[in-house]
Amino acid sequence: MSLPAVVPLPSSLEAGSGEPFRLTDEIALRGEADAAATLTALLTARTGLALSSAASGTGGVELRIERRGPAESYRITVDGAAVVTGADAAGLFYGVQTLAQLVTRDADGWAIPAVRIDDAPRFAYRGVMLDVARHFHPVETVKAYIDRAATLKFNALHLHLSDDQGWRVHLDSRPRLTELASGTSVGGDPGGFYTKDDYRDIVEYAASRHMVVVPEVDLPGHTHAVGLAYPELAEAPVLSDDIRETGGELPIAGAPYEGIAVGFSSLRIHDEATYDFVADVFGELAGMTPGPYLHLGGDEALGTSAEDFALFVERASDIIADLGKTPVAWHEAGSAKGVADTTVGQYWGYVTPTDGMDDKARAFVSNGSQLILSPADAIYLDMKYPSGPALGLSWANGPTSVEDAYSWEPSDVIAGIDDSDILGVEAPMWTETIRTLDDIDLMAFPRIAAAAEAAWSPATGASELRTWESFRARVGTLGPLWTSLGIGFHPSDEISWATE
């Protein structure tokens, strides 16, 4: 008997011997109200059936919380009845997502095959990042991306809120940031920003899908937009041949930047007003963000000397730690000996590290903290496909196939780093070429599912199903579900896609 197809792969998946559980308009969803509402929406979209919820009774689909087992874990049993049990509300939510994936159609209608699943995540942190600085994306697009990520059991949304091209969140302490630095995007496209109510709306919506928001203000580089609002804090752009070769207008102090070059901007490291700014920005964000993490950036500060960079990230990470939050920084910050010892490093180098990137990443672990892995040549979702849309970039050993996105093992990237040193996995979506939700869908799916499996599922080799051949077969079955949910995925020719 063949096993049902689920992505990400569960910890334990066993085909049952009983009859499939038939879905009809008479079936009721019983138990936890929030889980029932989520499952109703998923099954209605997938099947068109008019399902209902019921507070009590027998039959139908039972949705329960039983507080035992690891956080976010769940169990599904389908054998004459369908029961989903979560160790907590998040676990039940993830069990509901899996149950929706199990729905199939045969000659007799819609059914869920007999199965037993026991499942729990490999890593505590499973993130997606959306860059809203290069191109601004409105609240409704962010919410839609939250919904999409939640179906694959991601639990963190990293919002890249600032860059050379624009500043995207209003802060009462620094109102000129949105007054003067939010109006443009790459290529001269319109800008935009989130009001405090908008940001609160995103945070609350994410929480309803069991996701935390991780706001990033990228410092001390990627700060040309800060200089539009507060020129006294910014150094003059540092130009290089690489920047000149990107084409378009060169960055000019005091003028909006609409290109895609990096590494030319810096804050004034030795000016105390800079640290007043950092304290204001992260202090206000801390009050707006209930999740534990604040991301200080720290990447590609090519216009800043190594000594000044170290001084800055040490002071900025201490400011965040003193707010009671966990600092997160891109792996370059590992070069600073005095970075706050709670700082989580985010590795964006290649699956096979180059140029000492691994040494910088390993420094966070040596300091007593952990890493988030985001290898650019595997799970940067904005990289071009080998064949497909014209969108995307290719600098990260690209183009990046679906197989590339899948065929890496988190514990093998940085020598000497094992699962206990890894907080989790995050798949970034940079938006130099990404303007709309349709663009996001096309570039993220199906590669985002490969990142989800790296974050949630057992390690490569721990299961006979944790292979590329198994994944490509399993993810192909999700095409009809994704279509029913309005996800315009890229129909990669690496996958045999189901049509019903």
Q: What would be the CATH architecture of the domain defined by 12-119?
A: 2-Layer Sandwich (3.30)
pLDDT (average), residues 285-292: 98
- Determine if the peptide bond prior to 386 is cis (ω within 30°): no
Residue range 221-236: mean pLDDT, rounded: 98
Closest CA to 263 of 382, 163, 121, 387: 163
pLDDT digit string, tens, across residues 249-281: 899 999 999 999 999 999 999 999 999 999 999
pLDDT grade for 59, boundaries at 50, 70 and 90: low
- pTM exceeding the 0.95 threshold for the entire prediction: yes
Residue 89's φ and ψ, nearest 5 degrees, are -60, -35
Q: pLDDT band for 76, please (50, 70, 90 cuts).
A: very high
Reported as half-sphere exposure (CB side, CA atoms, 13 A), residue 173 has a value of 13
Q: Where exactly does CATH 3.30.379.10 map onto the chain?
A: 12-119
Per-residue model confidence (pLDDT) at position 387: 87
pLDDT at 54: 66
What percent of the chain lies above the pLDDT cut of 90? 92
Distances (CA, A) of 430 to 127, 160, 296, 488: 14, 9, 17, 18
Confidence band (pLDDT; 50, 70, 90) for 500?
A: confident
The pLDDT of residue 350: 98
Give pLDDT, residue 26: 86
> Please, what is the average pLDDT of the chain?
96
Q: pLDDT grade, residue 225 (50/70/90)?
A: very high
Mean per-residue pLDDT, 310-324: 98
Residue positions annotated with a catalytic role: 300
55 pLDDT above the threshold of 70 = no
User: What are the residue ranges of helices labelled H in 4-76?
Assistant: 33-47
Percent of the chain with pLDDT over 70: 99
Given CATH 3.20.20.80, say whether it is the number of domain 125-484: yes
Per-residue pLDDT for 57 more than 70? no
pLDDT tens-place string over residues 442-462: 999 999 999 999 999 999 999
**Mean per-residue pLDDT, 405-428:** 98
* Range of lowest pLDDT (106-110, 187-191, 251-255): 106-110
pLDDT, position 247: 78
